[in-house]
A and B are shown apart, each in its own frame.
Chain A
């Protein structure tokens, strides 16, 4: 594919980047319910439709549950569907997230990460999307607004090949309401990169079909005499699709680089692979971690950063490769699985189990409900993790919290 040579840089916040990306992806149906901090994104999309700049149906629904129901129906009949939400909205959508994934529909959802009540809070953490981890959606996390733009476009490409919906997650306010330079791809290049959606379910009145009716546990013989999947076979296929989606995600990233000159050919972002100490973080926190790593290196401590980009499917083998030289892994999580630890920490531990890597792993919970995270705090936490290798300064079984309790 021919590369888009000219850059077209604008100063955009994260919501604007997502809205422009949805428009460039020529979405045909948008169904969304406004919720802080996602609201400006839906406002922008409804303006595009109202002004005739985007040939799409904008369905003003009464809830997020309905938003995903509309997207599911639209996708089933062959439309490219997009929605966006945050926090309680995503929680309310929970049931329909399962329906979209189970029906294998390539819907793209922008999740503007926000804390969940109680107590009420509109600021950022990643508890909302992490709580939807097991719905069968691919999850991609963005570090900056350029990645939001690029990831939404790639998300449609990936979803429509593997038939799995994709959640593009980005931090509320930190990205959604913060402006930074973003290169806007040109429409012709996006059209080349993202061909028209080919649905796997074709609704045709002359050949009526049922989709996702009561499906018993065991396979059954259909009216055409063929043995059809039972519930469990269909669940297997969803797991298989996510397991195998890595290749498609990487391919979509490589081809994106060929057309737009920005490389997404890995499942994570890596900064200094020689490091013996690796900080792991996801979303915009990975950028903060790079600042902290720089400060530590100035003090002579060799620290690298692994920024997780794709959380589902979790890139086990890639993470093992990235962490091969690590002696200590410090995982910062903006979410908590209560009674256990941060979700990304669990994933890292699970990926390393049974490999030759015998690194110590320490977990810190940070930034919940928009609590400011200073690079200095990440530096201090990393030093505490280093000290814990020699003396018991923290309980290695449970995460440390960076707060004032």
Chain B
């Protein structure tokens, strides 16, 4: 099946998770949240969420603890850099 059925004549997409494709495939490192360090998990309060705010792919949810949609997490490591308590570690992507 070709792409003509989408009926677009220029590039058009709807904003949403995954609009740039499965960006998870780009990853060589995967973020892992340590619940013992993460502030919301430790305090059981909806607080901090800097990782949620800075993630350029908007794939982190404001949960306790936050969770990451690895289908679209591109492994940039920004969340790990912004975390004030170093709760996020970048681990080698296993499939590599």
Inter-subunit contact A104/B3 (CB<8 Å): no
Inter-subunit contact B18/A229 (CB<8 Å): no
Inter-subunit contact A213/B14 (CB<8 Å): no
Chain A: minimal CB distance from B9 (Å):
5
Inter-subunit contact A227/B12 (CB<8 Å): no
Partner of A208, one of B1, B9, B14, B17: B14
Inter-subunit contact A223/B16 (CB<8 Å): yes
- Segment at the B interface, from A82-90, A183-191, A230-238: A230-238
Q: Which of A16-67 contact B (CB under 8 A)?
A: none
Chain A: minimal CB distance from B13 (Å):
5
Which residue in chain B gives the minimum CB-CB distance to A226? B6
Number of chain B residues close to chain A: CB under 8 A:
19
CB-defined contacts of B12 to chain A, threshold 8 Å: 201, 209-211, 228
Cβ of B8 under 8 Å from chain A = yes
Inter-subunit contact B9/A200 (CB<8 Å): yes
CB-defined contacts of A200 to chain B, threshold 8 Å: 9-10
Chain A: minimal CB distance from B90 (Å):
24
Cβ of B20 under 8 Å from chain A = yes
Cβ of B94 under 8 Å from chain A = no
Which residue in chain A gives the minimum CB-CB distance to B19? A223
Which applies to chain B's interface (DSSP): helix, strand, loop or mixed? loop
Inter-subunit contact A210/B10 (CB<8 Å): no
Inter-subunit contact B13/A223 (CB<8 Å): yes
Q: Which of B10-44 contact A (CB under 8 A)?
A: 10-21
Which residue in chain A gives the minimum CB-CB distance to B9? A104
* A220-B21 contact, Cβ under 8 Å, with A208-B14, A210-B15: yes
Cβ of A206 under 8 Å from chain B = no
Docked Cα-Cα span, A226 to B6, in Å, equals: 6
CB-defined contacts of B19 to chain A, threshold 8 Å: 210, 213, 222-223
Chain B: minimal CB distance from A358 (Å):
40
A contacts, CB < 8 Å to B: 102-104, 163, 200-201, 207-216, 219-224, 226-230, 233-234, 237, 241
29 A-B Cβ contacts within 8 A? A103-B10, A104-B9, A163-B9, A201-B10, A201-B12, A209-B15, A210-B12, A210-B13, A210-B19, A211-B11, A212-B10, A212-B11, A213-B11, A213-B13, A216-B20, A216-B21, A220-B20, A222-B14, A223-B16, A223-B18, A223-B19, A224-B14, A228-B8, A228-B12, A229-B6, A229-B8, A229-B11, A233-B2, A234-B11
Contacts A209-B15, A210-B14 aside, 11 further interface pairs with beta carbons under 8 A come to A208-B14, A213-B11, A216-B21, A222-B13, A222-B14, A222-B19, A223-B14, A228-B8, A229-B11, A237-B9, A241-B9
